[in-house]
Amino acid sequence: MEPPNKQEDSRVARQDPLLHPFLRAPNEESAKAELDGLLRTEAVPIIQKIINQRLGMGSISRNPESIDERDLDAQDLRQQTLMALTAHLWQVYAFPEKNRIGAFRGYVAGASFNTWRGAVRDETPLWTRLSFRLAYLCRESAGQTGLTKWPDAKQGSLVGFTAWRKKHLAPVLTFALLEQSSLEELPSPTTALPEIAAWTLHQARGPLPWNDFVTAVAFVLQVKDERISLDRRNLETLLRSQQPGPQTSGESLNRDRLRNLWEQLQRLDRKERVVLLFKAEDLLDFELSRVATLQDLSASLGIPLTQILSLLPSLPLDDHQIARLLGIQRQTVVNLRSQARLTLRRQLQTQRTTNE
């Protein structure tokens, strides 16, 4: 039999120090007390922050005197995350050698993001597709629309006209479309998506939290409740339609195009793939469209899946973060990305020429 101190060391080997008191607890009652404290002080603040940001709630409820559907969504997702996390931590306690958590905060962040992502993908597939479609309109490569999306510490992401971002306008946190316009004044659901997006922002008269913006656009497309109940035929018609103006091959949610883009990305150097994909807001398009799983992404980038999960809530990464991840200089990141974009552009152009 091994000495007690050696057994104790094996229980905490390669585990995050935050877990050591929990894993060293001598019995289930003591372990429960340690786990309660760990969840309360470390896990809950991270879960709340990520779920709130993903739902577009910011750091506080917009109407503290009432509980709306979004509050209930957040409570449900937080509870789901806590239940899954608690169950896994008891597995770690029972079999620590088989269940390692080297970075607890990163693991909690990844678990929170996965809960939100799973709920959105399973329960709101059309809303999700619309969100990504709108995200393409706000990318720099679609600059002709005049729309832009930018990170915000409290709201997660804001959207507005480029001029609004330059003026640092305060976000509109209480936007209700029907308080601004009657049903008769809403654009037709067959109106081009860039026009509906611009019309919505004009009605708001200021930047909107991203999820509020997507929900308002969905309302124009005949939403039947506050958040996700859409007229499926109208929205699917819109999502299938081609928007006017030039599109790069990455600006469509069409699965074939995404599959082609993924295949061309695999021809790049690993570091080139990293600097391109971790800078993109639409990285999860590959997973959401089932072109490539997160496991595929992990293998392609040569980065452990647990590390990718911990990074997802922070995407897109800035160049300094990517440089630290790869162990290179920031300027090297910039140079690699420039070269990767040029190579990718040439590959896609060559493919189009060949197909013609």
Position 225 scores a pLDDT of 34
HSE value, Cβ hemisphere, 13 Å, CA-based, for 124: 22
Q: Name the β-bridge partners of 161.
A: 147
Selection from 53, 40, 44 nearest residue 116 by Cα: 53
In sequence order, the 6+-apart residues with CB closer than 8 A to the CB of 296 are: 286
Q: Where are the alpha helices (DSSP H) in 185-267?
A: 193-204, 210-220, 232-240, 255-265
User: Distance between CA atoms of 290 and 296, rounded to whole angstroms?
Assistant: 11
Position 337 scores a pLDDT of 87
Exposed, middle or buried: residue 262 (CB in 10 Å: 0-12, 13-18, 19+)? middle
Position 186 scores a pLDDT of 76
- pTM of whole model > 0.85? no
Selection from 189, 155, 161, 193 nearest residue 174 by Cα: 155
User: Distance between CA atoms of 222 and 231, rounded to whole angstroms?
Assistant: 6
One pLDDT digit (tens) per residue for the chain, 356 residues: 445 555 557 888 889 999 999 999 999 889 999 999 999 999 999 888 888 776 665 433 344 433 344 555 677 788 888 888 988 899 899 898 888 888 898 888 888 877 776 766 555 566 766 777 787 777 654 455 688 888 887 777 889 998 898 888 888 887 766 555 555 677 876 777 788 888 989 988 899 988 888 888 877 775 433 333 333 444 444 444 433 333 333 333 456 777 888 888 999 999 999 998 888 756 666 765 668 887 888 899 999 887 887 776 667 788 898 999 999 998 999 889 888 888 888 887 887 777 66
**Which amino acid does the sequence have at 123?**
E
Position 328 scores a pLDDT of 92
Position 254 scores a pLDDT of 52
User: Distance between CA atoms of 33 and 50, rounded to whole angstroms?
Assistant: 25
Position 42 scores a pLDDT of 93
